[in-house]
Amino acid sequence: MMFHGFAHLSAMKVALALAVATVPASAASAAPGYADIADLTLAAPVIVKASITRSENIAARDSPGLAAGQARLLITAAVDGALVAGAPVPATLTWLWDAPLDARGKPPRPKGMVVLAWLSPPDAAGKTRLVTPQAQQAWDSALEARVRAIAVEARSGQVPMVSGVTNGFRADGTVKGESEAQFFLAATDNHPLALIVTTRPGEPKRVTVARGDVIDDSAESVKPETLLWYRLACFLPASLPAAAGGNDKALAADWRAALATLGPCGRVR
């Protein structure tokens, strides 16, 4: 077999041949959340569904950086289909996977397992690497659907990439206790984007997003577990910067309320 000799390569050769990141076993066992899947999907040039046809345990002496409680495996997998790929993908791929040991201290036997893998572009021989330590996940239809939805949204160009908040102001309404705060966000694609917090007596604060030059009733609520939600919940600062009005206590409180309404980013890893 072409890669049979991997187990006998020196540690340096293994590191050069197929780079692999490491992660503590406790983190590797945690189920990924939406933000984790979005992180992977946005980072990976290639995403495939594949069936593992072979795994070979790499000796610890040839596995630099291997964390305690893990085994390094050379995975050979048959590609069942590509979800994302900028070029043709070889029918068979190989990569290194740092897998958690089982309760007996034994490495897993993943042959026959169907996985989703987030990968770097493979070479002509099919050698590639996982983009992060968590970038091999057991396949299921719900996970595949989530990945496809994120990839489609990301490639639509309709969801701004949020990089911060540039300014904010707050105005009281005509009714006591009524107010509206507007926070203008910085986006890497330079699309106008504003986060709006509306306060009315006896009602929960309403948080909406305006995606154009005009801020009016067309501003939309942010749906959880969408790419827009991810980019707001995971990339906005926890506190309103002073340069954006953070010294105004009422405005800063509205900012915190907006983030609370969005909810935590929820990265598991």
How far is Cα 38 from Cα 171, in angstroms, rounded to an integer? 35
Q: Which amino acid is at 232?
A: L
SS3 (DSSP) at 85: coil
Same-domain pairing of 83 and 125: yes
pTM (predicted TM-score): 0.82
Question: Do residues 134 and 241 share a domain?
Answer: no
State whether 67 and 39 are in the same domain: yes
Residues of the domain holding 19: 4-156
> Of 156, 190, 216, which one is at a domain's C-terminal end?
156
Quote the pLDDT of residue 182: 93
Q: Is residue 269 part of a domain?
A: no
Q: Which residues fall within 8 angstroms of residue 5, CB to CB, at 6 or more apart? A: none
**Do both 194 and 128 map to the same domain?**
no
Amino acid at 32: P
Cite the DSSP H helix spans in the chain: 11-17, 25-28, 34-43, 141-156, 227-233, 249-262
Looking at the structure, tell me whether residues 191 and 79 fall in a common domain. Answer: no
Q: Is 175 exposed, middle or buried (0-12, 13-18, 19+ CB in 10 A)?
A: exposed
Structure token digits, residue 247:
């010294």
pLDDT at 13: 38
Both 166 and 242 in one domain: the answer is yes
- In a domain, residue 67? The reply is yes
Residue 52's DSSP bridge partners are 77
Please tell me whether residues 168 and 241 are part of one structural domain. Answer: yes
SS3 of 6, please? helix
- List the CATH number of the domain containing 112: 2.40.50.120
Q: Looking at the structure, do residues 109 and 218 belong to the same domain, yes or no?
A: no
Residue 268 lies in a domain: no
DSSP letter assigned to residue 10: -
Q: Which of residues 156, 180, 209 is at a domain's end?
A: 156
Q: Which tokens go with 140?
A: 């299921």
Note the pLDDT of residue 30. 62
Q: Are residues 138 and 170 in the same domain?
A: no
Could you say which residues of the chain have pLDDT below 70? 1-30, 212-218, 269
Which residue matches tokens 């070029």?
A: 87
> For the chain, how many structural domains are there in total?
2
